[in-house]
Amino acid sequence: MTSSLYRVLLRWRRAPMAAAVDLVLLGSVVGLVFAILSLGGEWTHKLRPSVDIQLSPWALPKYAFFSLSRGIIAYCFSLLFTLVYGYWAAKDALAEKILVPLLDILQSVPVLGFMPGLVLALVMLFPSSNMGLELAAVLMIFTGQAWNMTFSFYQSLKALPPDLVEVATVYRFDWKRRFLRLELPYSSMSLIWNSMMSMAGGWFFLMISESFVLGDKDYRLPGLGSYMAAATAKGDVRAMAFAAAAMSLMIVALDQLLWRPVVVWAQKFRAEDSGARETPTSWFLSLLRRSGLLPLVFRFLRRLIPKDPVSRPDASSSSACEGKAAWVSRLLFLLLIALLGAGVWRICAILRMVPALHWRAILGSAGWTLGRVLLSTMLGTLWALPAGLAIGLSPRLSRVFQPVVQVVASFPAPMLFPAVIAALRALGVGLGWGSVLLMLLGTQWYILFNVIAGAMAIPADLLEAAKAYRLTRWERLRGVYGPAVFTYLVTGWVTAAGGAWNASIVAEYVTFKGEVMAAHGLGAQISLAAEKADFPTLAASVVTMSALVVLFNRAVWRRLYALAERRFSLNR
Amino acid sequence: METLITTPTLCEARGVWQVFPQPNGQPLTVLQDVSLAVRPAEVIALLGPSGCGKSTLLRALAGLTPPVRGEVFYHGRPLTGLNPGVGIVFQSFALFPWMTVSENVSVVLRSLGLSPEEVAKRAEATIKTVGLAGFEGAYPRELSGGMKQRVGIARALSINPEMLFLDEPFSQVDALTAESLRAEVLDIWAARDRNPSSIVMVSHDIKEVVYMADRIVVLAANPGKIRTIVENKLPRPRDYRAPDFLALVDRLHEIITGAEMPDEAVPATTTPEAPAAQTVPVRALNAEPLPNASTSEITGLLEYLDARGGQDNIFRVAAETDQEFGKVITVVKAAELLAFVDTPKQTVVMTERGRAFVKASPAERKAVWRLALLDLRLFREVHDYALRRENRAVDRADVLETIALRVPHENSEKVFKTLVRWARYGKLFDYDENSGLLTVRDLK
The domains located in chain B, with CATH, are 2-260 (3.40.50.300), 295-440 (1.10.10.10)
Check CB contact under 8 Å for A172 and B82: yes
Decide which of A52 and B75 is more confident. Answer: B75
Distance (Å, whole) CA A99 – CA B358: 59
Q: What is the rounded distance in angstroms from the CA atom of residue B12 to the CA atom of residue B37?
A: 4
SS3 A499: helix
Task: Please name which of B370, B97, B338 lies closest in space to residue A271, comparing C-alpha atoms.
Answer: B97
Model confidence at A231, pLDDT cuts 50, 70, 90, reads confident
Judge if A263 and A347 occupy the same domain. Answer: no
Interatomic CA distance for residues B59 and B67, integer angstroms: 9
ipTM > 0.85 (yes/no): no
The mean pLDDT of chain A is 83
Last residue of a domain, one of A236, A270, A304: A270
Strands ordered across the beta sheet of B437-440 = B393-395, B437-440, B429-432
**Identity of residue B348:** V
Contacts of B403 (CB under 8 A, 6+ apart): B378, B410, B412, B415, B416, B419
Instruction: Please indicate whether, in this complex, the C-beta atoms of A311 and B111 are within 8 angstroms of each other.
Output: yes
A258 and A161 share a domain?
yes
Provide the shortest C-alpha distance from residue B16 to chain A (in Å). Answer: 20
Is A50 a domain residue? Answer: yes
Chain B residues with beta carbon closer than 8 angstroms to that of A268: 98, 139
Whole-angstrom distance, CA of residue B180 vs CA of residue A464 = 43
Q: Do A169 and B82 touch (CB under 8 A)?
A: yes
Q: How far apart are CA A113 and CA A347, in angstroms?
A: 14
Residue A447 and residue A355 share a domain: yes
Residue A87 falls inside a structural domain: yes
Q: Are B111 and A566 inside 8 Å of each other by CB?
A: no
Interface touch A171/B159, C-beta < 8 Å: yes
Whether A131 is in a domain gets the answer yes
Beta-carbon separation of B155 and A273 below 8 A: no
Contacts of B119 in chain A (CB under 8 A): 310
Asked whether residue A264 falls in the same domain as residue A348, the answer is no
> In this structure, are A49 and A163 located in the same domain?
yes
Q: What is the pLDDT of residue A308?
A: 54
Partner B contacted by A174 (CB < 8 A): yes
**Which one of A270, A285, A301 terminates a domain?**
A270
Q: How confident is the model at residue B274 (pLDDT cuts 50, 70, 90)?
A: very low
Residues A398 and A521 in one domain: yes
CATH for A413: 1.10.3720.10
Cβ contact A525:A365 at 8 Å: yes
**∠ CA(A120), CA(A422), CA(A113), 5° rounding?**
25
- In this complex, is the C-beta atom of A242 within 8 Å of any C-beta atom belonging to chain B? no
Cβ pair B90:A181 closer than 8 A: no
Statement: residue A469 has pLDDT above 60: yes
**Is residue A439, in this structure, part of any structural domain at all?**
yes
The reply to whether A258 and A369 lie within a common domain is no
Evaluate if residue B265 carries a pLDDT over 90: no
Taking an 8 Å cut-off on Cβ atoms, the answer to whether B107 and A181 are in contact is yes
Lowest mean pLDDT among A21-25, A225-229, B241-245: A21-25
CB contact under 8 A, A315 and B81: yes
Which of A167, A172, A189, A314 would best serve as a mutation to test chain B binding (most B beta carbons within 10 A)? A167
Give the pLDDT mean for B107-111: 87
Among the candidates A224, A247, A270, a domain finishes at: A270
Interface of B with A (CB under 8 A): 62, 64, 81-82, 86-88, 90, 92, 94, 96-99, 107-108, 110-116, 119, 139-141, 155, 159, 433-434
DSSP string, A450-489: HHHHHHHTS-HHHHHHHHHTT--HHHHIIIIIHHHHHHHH
Q: Assess if residue A299 is contained within a domain.
A: no
Does A500 touch chain B if contact means CB atoms closer than 8 Å? no
Alpha-carbon gap: B323 to the closest alpha carbon of chain A (Å): 24
- Work out the end-to-end distance of chain A between its first and last CA atoms, rounded to an integer number of angstroms: 57
Query: Would you say residue A451 has pLDDT above 50?
Result: yes
pLDDT tier at A274, thresholds 50, 70, 90 = very low
A432 interfaces chain B, CB cutoff of 8 Å: no
Q: How many residues does chain B have?
A: 444
- B94/A166 touch (CB, cutoff 8 Å), yes or no: yes
What would the pLDDT profile of B327-352 be if each residue is shown by its tens digit? 898 999 999 999 999 988 889 999 99
Tell me if A1 is assigned to some domain. no
pLDDT bucket at A318, cuts 50 / 70 / 90? low
Does residue B59 carry a pLDDT above 50? yes
H-helix or E-strand spanning residue A352: helix A315-352
Rama region for B222: left / alpha / beta (φ>0; ψ in -120 to 50; rest)? left
Quickly state the pLDDT bin for A312 (edges 50, 70, 90).
low
Alpha-helical (H) ranges within A266-314 are 283-288, 293-304
Same domain (yes/no): A395, A251 = no
SS3 letters across A302-316 = HHHCCCCCCCCCCHH
- What would the pLDDT profile of A353-387 be if each residue is shown by its tens digit? 888 888 888 899 999 999 999 999 999 999 999 99
A178 touches chain B (CB under 8 A): no
Is A310 an interface residue toward B (CB < 8 Å)?
yes
- Give the pLDDT band (50/70/90) at residue A49: low
Q: Is the pLDDT of residue A150 over 50?
A: yes
**Contact residues, A window 246-305, toward B, CB-based 8 Å cutoff:** 268-273, 275
Question: Mean pLDDT throughout B177-191?
Answer: 91
- Record: contact A271-B97, CB cut-off 8 A: yes
How many CB contacts within 8 angstroms connect chain A with chain B? 74
Residue A321: inside a domain? no
Co-location of A414 and A548 in the same domain: yes
Do A384 and A238 belong to one domain? no
| Claim: this prediction has a pTM higher than 0.90 | no
| Selection from A34, A155, A5 nearest residue A89 by Cα | A155
CB atoms within 10 A of CB B174: 11
User: What is the mean predicted confidence (pLDDT) over B7-17?
Assistant: 87
C-alpha angle B159/B161/B163, rounded to 5°? Answer: 150
What does the mean pLDDT of chain B come to?
86
User: To 10 degrees, the CA torsion angle through A468, A471, A475, A477?
Assistant: 50
What's the domain count of chain A?
A: 2
Query: Once rounded to an integer, what is the mean pLDDT over residues B386-392?
Result: 89
The chain B residue lying nearest A188, using CA atoms, is: B98
Please check whether residue A306 lies inside any domain of the structure. no
Q: Whole-angstrom Cα distance, residue A384 to residue B342?
A: 62
More confident site: B411 or B15: B15
pLDDT for A557 equals: 87
A468: distance to nearest CA of chain B, Å?
Answer: 28
- Residues of chain A found within 8 Å of residue B66, distances taken between Cβ atoms: none
Asked if A46 and A168 sit in the same domain, the reply is yes
Instruction: Tell me the C-alpha distance between B16 and B31, whole Å.
Output: 7
**Residue A224 lies in domain:** 38-270
Q: What is the pLDDT of residue B110?
A: 86
Give the pLDDT of residue A310.
54
Q: Which residues pair with A214 in a beta bridge?
A: A217
| A471 and A556 both lie in a single domain | yes
